[in-house]
Amino acid sequence: MSLAKLTVSTLALAAVSATAVSAQGREQVQIAGSSTVLPYASIVAEAFGENFDYPTPVVESGGSSAGLKRFCEGVGENTIDIANASRAIREGEIEACAAAGVTDIMEVRIGYDGIVFASQIDGPEFTAFEPAQWYNAMAAELPMDGEMASNPNSSWSDVDGALPDVEIQAFIPGTKHGTREVFEEKVILQGCEDSGAYDQILEINGGDEDAAEDACMSIRTDGVAVDIDGDYTETLARIESNPNGIGVFGLAFYENNTDLLKVATMGGVEPSTETISSGDYPVSRPLYFYIKKAHMGVIPGLKEYAEFFVSNEVAGPNGPLSNYGLVADPELEQTQQQIADEVTMSESM
């Protein structure tokens, strides 16, 4: 098989595409889900359509949770074949799938990605952050004088005098996005712990650890933090119209928009493919897609698409996806074998 048609221009076009062309018939593989996985899936779908005798798969966004909800609606040609996700499928989603007849699910880990904090390239000097700063900026309530109080911080300099003296305006992933979980757990909760607030909250609530974590990750709703339910193009649009705004993006999206955005370090580490693969960058996560095994052999090209996606020449360290921020999975060969054998999640446990 030749990848001669997998050109840079094709990749660039696919990487920024919000959705693929509408389906013209059910002979096409149908995919929905994570906006983080979207650029990678769009690249692969475009190349797949050019290099195989199957129609180009239809790729839609909408967020991990929305994609998995559609995935779990049932089995058949009126349901999607693959759900992209920037987090692992939850137990409750597996149960919802089973209740609708989706009992054999294949989990495919495609690699790793990082989430980054970026602002207008000519905007305020947001170049270095710590998790504690984001916690103190975003938390709905902070522990003060032995009790919880509404977050009083309105500017970044209120949070830390070393930060720019501009209003806090953060555009963060909405709750249906897998990126939101990573943001809350690896930035906000970590910042709560780093700042000492977690221990104070534990003392206030009588030692309830679950309640303390929930309090740490409860995001303010006074307009300072704005949930973005669309994909990263919407976040970018908000940044372009808000000079002081900061957005949360996937590394791949940022790397495709370095002419518009500048990125900040987190914990003193600059996000890059190298720092994510080494484990140095603190805000990274695995990326997945989920396949209905019942659709294998029924929907033309489904297995071939999955195999193509995780092939060495596509998802490997020297493949085109690495140019767009995907960090190759060191266990990629195992994933390739699982797809070849059509191994489901229940069989791999």
- Comparing 16-30, 222-236, 284-298, the range with the smallest average pLDDT is 16-30
Q: Would you state the structure tokens that stand for residue 175, as one six-digit string?
A: 């709750």
pLDDT value at residue 24: 38
- CA atoms of 177 and 78, how far apart (whole Å): 24
* Average of per-residue pLDDT across 260-267: 97
Residue 17 has pLDDT above 70, yes or no: no
pLDDT at 324: 78
Looking at per-residue pLDDT, the higher value among 349 and 17 belongs to 349
Q: Is the confidence at residue 49, as pLDDT, over 80? A: yes
Closest CA to 82 of 122, 133, 44: 44
Question: Looking at residue 22, what is its pLDDT?
Answer: 31
What is the pTM (predicted TM-score) of this model?
0.72
Q: What is the C-alpha separation between 46 and 13, in angstroms, rounded?
A: 9
Q: Is the pLDDT of residue 6 over 90?
A: no
Q: How far apart are CA 280 and CA 264, in angstroms?
A: 15
Nearest-10 Cα torsion for 210, 212, 216, 217: 20
Query: Which residue segments constitute the domains of the chain, with CATH numbers given?
Result: 26-112+286-348 (3.40.190.10), 114-284 (3.40.190.10)
Across the chain, mean pLDDT equals 90
Q: Summarize pLDDT for 125-160 with one digit per residue, the tens.
A: 999 999 999 999 999 999 999 999 999 999 999 999
Q: Which helix (H) or strand (E) holds 275?
A: helix 273-277
